[in-house]
Structures are given as C-alpha cells and as structure tokens.
Amino acid sequence: CNAGFALQTDSVVMFQNDPWTLLVLAALITVGGLGFVVLAALQSRFLRGQRGRLSVQVRVVLAYSAIFTLAGWGLYTITEWRHTLAGLSLVDRLVNALFQSVTLRTAGFNSVDFGTLALPTLLFMVLFMFVGASPGGTGGGIKTSTLAVILAAIRATASGSDAVRLFDREIPRVLVYRALAVVGLSSAATLGGLFLLLLFEAPHLETGAFERLLFETVSAVGTVGLSLDVTPKLGPVGKFIIIGVMFLGRIGPLTLVLSLGARRGGQRLRHPQARIMVG
C-alpha cells in the first residue's frame, strides 16, 4: 500500500543485511506504485493471454518507472558508496541502494541511517519524491505520467513542433495544460509549506535547517513518509503545516482547486490572441 509504516523505530534498518527481504519489499512497493490501470493491463496481457498493443498510459508508466528506478539506483550507489553504504558487503550495498531508489518515490521505508546522507543524495531524492509514483496507484507526487507529458511538451517546443507526442500518439493540449497545472500547484504547495516552516521552525533547529526542512516538505507533499528526524522536533505550528501539505499532496492541488472552483455555465467566450515575449 506504499504506507511506509513499520513496527520498529528505525524502519527496516534491521533488514539491511537481508537482501531477500529488501528485494521482496521493493517488489511490493513497485507493484503498489504502478497503478491499478497498469496492473489490470498486465494481467490481461500475460495471465489471460489477450493480444494487442499496450496503451500509451501503460507504456509511459512502465518506461518511466524503470528509468527512475535505474537512475535512482545508480545515483544512490555513487553518492552514498562511502557514506550510508559504507561497511556493507558488495551485495548488500547494491541491494540497499536499489531498495532506497524504489522506496524514496513513495513508500517511505529506509534501510540505512538517513542522518548521514550526503547533500547530493538529498538533492536527487527531493526530485524523485516530488515526481512520486504513477496515477491510479497508492503513491503520491505529481506522477510519472505528468512528468512524461511535460518532457514531451518541452521536446516538441524545442523541435519547433506544434504537436506533443508520446509513443507515436498525439497528446491533447488540455492534458498538457493539466500537467503544467499539477506541476505548478504542487510546486506552489511545496514552496508555501517550506516558507512557513522556515518562518516558524528554522530558528529552533540546528545548522542545515534549510535542506532538512526542504526534504521534510517535499516528503510530505509527495506523501512519501521519509524523514531526516525533523518532524518529531517541530512545534505545534510546524506539525500543522506538515499536516496541511500532506493533505494537499494526498488529494492533489489540482483536484482541490477544481472542486472549490465554481463552474460557470453558458457560452464560452473567446478573446483575441496576443503574443508576449517569454524566456
């Protein structure tokens, strides 16, 4: 379910020398983060023997999930080889790096001590947590498919094309707008929560408050659950801020805005176009 709860206070650190347990947990986390649409499509394809091409949704989710898992695995191995992975055997280092790559996007388990993470590791982990899992699953974040649409739109703009394409299919403009809105509103929620935490809680924390609070805020927005042991030290105001951004991250900023906005009936008005300079 990608909840990230454990009965031990140190999450799953006790299993860092048990590669099979970590691999099983990583597999379950991956399945939970793929989304029910993808799982149903894979079941129909491989268990029921139904033929036909997988939908763009399924292919995007599978491709980007694999890319993020492999990229996170490599980055974590490189940046933490002499830090949190030090002292482990070669197999345990590789398995723990893979486990952290899988879990940081939504599940919230940790098999190593996050108190000694290097700054480059914190940076890429923040980015991965912000993206999160895939739509229709149990994870949070802006979702892999949203990122795929944004990157496809950037590629189309850079190549001078008016059409946004993914896997030889054109993406409707309204989906591009929604993807931009999701990223923009999620970024606003993250920056707003971070600003409030820095305003009310940073003076009470030791050095390194900015990166620690940034990590905590993005983890809350992405409903990941990973922590640098900052949340227990927050005051009542800080905890309410974390609760607020977690609530926004769970239901989605775009969903909240659309549900609160009144729909106006009647004829749609179209205004004259105007060109402005951007970039």
One digit per residue, pLDDT tens: the chain, 279 residues? 677 777 777 888 899 999 999 999 999 988 888 888 888 888 887 777 677 778 899 999 999 999 999 999 999 999 999 999 998 999 999 999 999 999 987 788 899 988 889 999 999 999 999 998 888 777 788 999 999 999 999 999 999 988 999 998 999 998 999 899 999 999 999 999 999 999 998 887 776 789 999 999 999 998 888 888 888 888 999 999 999 999 888 887 667 666 656 555 555 778 888 878 777
Beta bridge partners of 169: 166
Question: How open is the CA angle 33-37-39, to the nearest 5 degrees?
Answer: 65
d(CA 189, CA 257) in angstroms, rounded, equals: 12
Q: What is the pLDDT of residue 151?
A: 95
pTM: 0.88
Q: What is the pLDDT of residue 261?
A: 60
